[in-house]
Amino acid sequence: MIRTARFPALVLVALTVTGCAAGTEERAAVPSASAVPLVGPGFPPTAAEARDRLARLTVAWGKNWQTYTRAEFGTTWSDETDAPGGRNGCDTRDDVLRRDLGELRQGERNPCVVLSGVLHDPYTGKELPYSYRKASQIQTDHVVALGAAWRAGAWAWTAERRLAYANDLDVLLATDKQTNYEKSSKTPDKWKPPRKAYWCEYGRRWTGIKAKYGLTVSPPEKRALEELLATCA
- The confidence score (pLDDT) of residue 23 equals 41
Query: What does the pLDDT look like over 170-216, one tens digit per residue?
Result: 999 999 999 999 999 999 999 999 999 999 999 999 999 999 999 99
Look at the chain and report how many structural domains it folds into: 1
The domain in which residue 186 lies consists of 8-15+41-229
- 198 part of a folded domain: yes
- Assigned domain for 33 exists: no
pLDDT surpassing 60 at residue 6: no
In this predicted structure, the answer to whether residue 13 has a pLDDT above a threshold of 90 is no
Query: Is position 148 within any domain?
Result: yes
Residues sharing a CB contact under 8 Å with residue 23, sequence separation 6 or more, in sequence order: none
Position 26 scores a pLDDT of 38
Q: Among candidates 134, 151, 154, 159, which has minimal Cα distance to 213?
A: 154
Region 126-144: what's the mean pLDDT? 96
Whether 70 maps to a domain, the answer reads yes
Q: Is 99 left (phi over 0), alpha (psi -120 to 50) or beta?
A: alpha
Q: Which pLDDT tens digit goes with each residue over 44-79?
A: 999 999 999 999 999 999 999 999 999 999 999 999
Say whether pLDDT at 28 is over 60: no
Residue 47 lies in a domain: yes
Give the distance from CA 75 to its chain's centroid.
16
